[in-house]
Structure 1
């Protein structure tokens, strides 16, 4: 079921009808295995009604803006696990990557993974858009190097320590990180929010605001995590802004998380 959900997300950009067909099969399987219940189906019915209304009466500005607001609220609710009817599967329970790392729990989040599907209804350019500016090779190189540099900065400020890991659950972590974490977060904060803001204000200010909001999403981890998540958001936002492709931002997001797990205390230093 989770592999099918990943396949649907993988093909959502290029083969939307195929992706939606796979998603329907996944939803049926998820209901059969009690990952979803009737409350989730009510939510899906509401989404379908809003989407059909948007497609049918999209030329009406009031309908179009109303549908976008509702879809954005739905995406945020999915992202933050606020909707009933979703019973996400716990894959890792209080595992410890290394002796200096704090215990870590991970879920396969069905609700969060739906975020790109929801946002694509109101943002057709979610996956591919016109780059805000063209970056030179040395700028891309600097952006790549900023990924490990940010982790070392966290070490300098005492949030992390170097600690090499090769956990048995690496494949499960990478799988979830690509499809059920990074893609969903980048779809909301870069593909939708930063892109929409860039249509109203300067692309640079849109980059900063989206990064700050991304950082605030991590507020439960403390102020230091908010700061570093905001800095990471700037990296992902530049990747999106220079390429115009959501998957490039996802690649940077996954790369940072994987480097973090493999070479530093994960998710943070045990004090």
Structure 2
């Protein structure tokens, strides 16, 4: 039952790209089903409902009544959920303390309903998405080239710093990792740092160019990883700069999500994950 809740939430996130042909958007129907399933299975308890309700109200108010202050209130609530600071959420454990290579630190994979739900609402209400397949075809080659360059430059720097080393692998849970990383991590983080923060700064400081929003979102992304140490935060800032530049160039959330996912999946499949234990 808990696994079904996570699958429904992932489907709700994907459904944001599905054209709405009904009065109620497909993502909203799937999200309601995911939430009901999560409540029934104990993945989410009643204590979590006020947090998600407040975030939904803040997102809707941002669109209609409080376009200036509303996004920052919504962003604060989303951050509280993403940091697992609101009670009532229980992560679904996929892998516990797995060691993926020699001298590699143990790794735990969890699907967090709170972070993914926050990312879904930020994606729906604040993130600028692609409008057509023609837009994808027009920019796809450039984005792919930038993504490959970003992955190898970022992870190459981590290799030089002794944080990782080459370690090709495909563990049994790799499909679970890639799906959760894309839907529950990359989308949530990019919708917060780029779709909300960087985009709002772009709109406010348009006359000063793109560098100020890029610099601020990059610095905040690095700071969000300080719990892993200064080296980890520094490497995260380098990666965040790539994501921010991708967003500044294309002004579509898919660009930042794609680069983020390429970097993360390259790290997971080709190098020590999460990092060398020494």
TM-score by length of 2: 0.86
Q: How do 1:91-130 and structure 2 match up within 5 A?
A: 91-120=94-123, 123=126, 125-128=127-130
Matches within 5 A, 1:38-57: 38-51=46-59, 53-54=61-62
In structure 2, runs of 5+ residues without a counterpart are: none
**Equivalent in the alignment of 1:205:** 212
- 1:18-29 correspondence runs (5 A): 18-29=26-37
State the match for 1:67 in structure 2: 70
1:190 equivalent among 178, 188, 194: 194
Residue 259 (structure 1) aligns with: 266
Q: 1:244 to 1:101 in 2, by over 3 A?
A: same
Contact 1:71/1:122 (8 A) holds in 2: no
| Post-superposition offset of 1:140 | 6.5
Say which SS state the counterpart of residue 199 (structure 1) adopts: helix
How far off is 1:240 after superposition?
Answer: 1.6
After TM superposition, the runs of 4+ consecutive aligned structure 1 residues lying more than 6 A away are: 134-140
What corresponds to 2:235 in structure 1?
A: 228
**Deviation per CA, 1:36-71, whole angstroms, max 9, x where unpaired?**
11111222333344455556x52xxxx443432321
How many residues are paired up? 262
Deviations for 1:173-217, whole angstroms, at most 9, x for unmatched residues? 001101000000010011111111112233112112101110111
Contact map agreement 2:169 2:269 (CA 8 A) in 1? yes
Partner residue, 1:214: 221
Partner of 1:165: 169
Q: What is residue 156 of structure 1 aligned with on the other side?
A: 160
In the TM superposition, what is the alpha-carbon distance from 1:146 to its structure 2 partner? 2.7
Structure-2 change in CA distance of 1:99 and 1:197 (3 Å): same
Compute the displacement of 1:229 (Å). 0.5
Where does residue 84 of structure 1 map in the other structure?
A: 87
- Structure 1, residues 3-61: CA drift from partner, whole Å, max 9, x if none? 21111101214446110111001000000010111111222333344455556x52xxx
* SS of aligned partner of 1:266: coil
Cα distance 1:5–1:205, how it changes in 2: closer, same or farther (>3 A)?
Answer: same
Aligned partners of 1:127 and 1:191 also within 8 Å: no
Change in CA separation of 1:128 and 1:191 when aligned onto 2, cut-off 3 Å: farther
In 1, the alpha carbon distance for the partners of 2:254 and 2:231 equals 27
Structure 1 stretches of 5 or more lacking a match? Answer: none
* CA distance in 2 between partners of 1:224 and 1:3 (Å): 34
